[in-house]
Chains A and B, each alone.
Chain A
Amino acid sequence: MSVLVYTESEGGKFKKTAFEVASYAKEVATILGTTVTAVSINGGDSSELGSYGVDKVLQVTNDKLATFNAKAYANTIKQAVEKDGAEVVVVSSTTDSKFLAPLLSVHLNAGYASNVVALPESASPFKVKRTAFTNKAFNITEISTDVKVIGLSNNAFGLRENSGSAEAEVFEPSLVDADFDIEVTAVDKATDKVSIADAEIVVSGGRGLKGPENWAMIEELADVLGAATACSKPVSDMGWRPHGEHVGQTGKPVASNLYIAIGVSGAIQHLAGINASKVKVVINNDPEAPFFKAADYGVVGDAFEVVPKLIEKLKEFKSNNA
């Protein structure tokens, strides 16, 4: 028995979410009185996982798995689970992990709870808390299968340092040709920008910015903060910004540490999508905007005056705290 965690990497380095799921897996293992095994596919330096409590790392190195393939990755993780006799499998909420988790669950005949935000409430029966109704509520989900798959919500648990031996072991899954049924022909990814899923800070603009030509200050603010940029639904519908930036109920969910909404009124669907963010700041010239009811900090004022000032103050702050 063990807790198995899939630690995702990109370009041979572990993603931040890998350390978060490892931290979570360690705490689950403590509750269950067992150890943590990570499975790493063409991943980073295994010893890094030790700092978050991983005891053993099953290292897969295989050129066929150089790019993400949901079926082949799910199959690899499944074989790792079986080899290790894991009872609980933890994955993150990245797009790729959410892609492979349902496939993995079927292979393992395991109940799957996605968007989990806390440690299990009880181990027997196994109950976890997850978000539902697009962050308007939580539910406690009981998983009754022998093996359980948990999808941990990004930024829900944070990083917890721990010591583990992270003993590396070469793991060679048997890959089947049938899993390579999808051929990736092009990848279009801004490598110099922080993605909304990975970002600790997200800066979001709404219709109040009046037009796409006014986004330079949003991007500058994001740049100063090392943040990702996002937008409200009307902004993406009008084509001011790409769809990938649309956050809200039908767009991307945001679970950042800090969410700054500029010129966003705060429709219920928008608020639902960003509700999991820890600290919310609103800048809007309409004091009646619903966002003020959902925010922690608010500035009533013209974005075109407030944002440049904020950029300036943040730059000062940064140079003083560098």
Chain B
Amino acid sequence: MTKPLQYLGQGVFYALFMGVIGYFSTSPVYTHLPPDETLIKLSFSHAGQHMGECRERTPEELAKLPPYQRKVTTICPNRKRSNVVVELEMDGKQLYHVVLKPAGFSSSGNSNIYRRIPVKAGIHTLKARLKDHDGEDFNYVREETVILAPGHIMVIDFKAATGGFIFKNKNTESRLQNKEK
């Protein structure tokens, strides 16, 4: 093979190599979320109520304990906690239902959840319910109308100490409009 032809062949090889690297380093474009969808992320960590009766330690019992153990005044003979049940409703229809078991070998830990729930963007009535005891009634409920812009992430958190469900990044359309202004 003549030298010019060899150089041409080498050039083609390097060009092909460059083309493969250059193309697949960014293409084809991957569409992760359809254009008309938005995302709800349900995520919290919450301990269900104890299964058995708990009681306060008597002063005598506390006195018998070393000083560093006296902070915890309540004792629960049964360490096991209740499952945490969560339900999400959107525009009157059930969107999600889950029963969360407590963590740990003795089922004495928190119930944890992290879920991605893709939904259609738009104005929705969202209702979140949670029960953390053995009974039938949901002891935490929050219902709100939210505006979910496409591609935005609304986070549903839960903190019993601050009253229950927290809807974060809701009404994203108005936020988006403000941003655009």
Partners in one complex: no
Enumerate chain B interface residues (CB-CB to A < 8 A): none
Q: Which residues from chain A sit less than 8 Å from chain B, CB to CB?
A: none
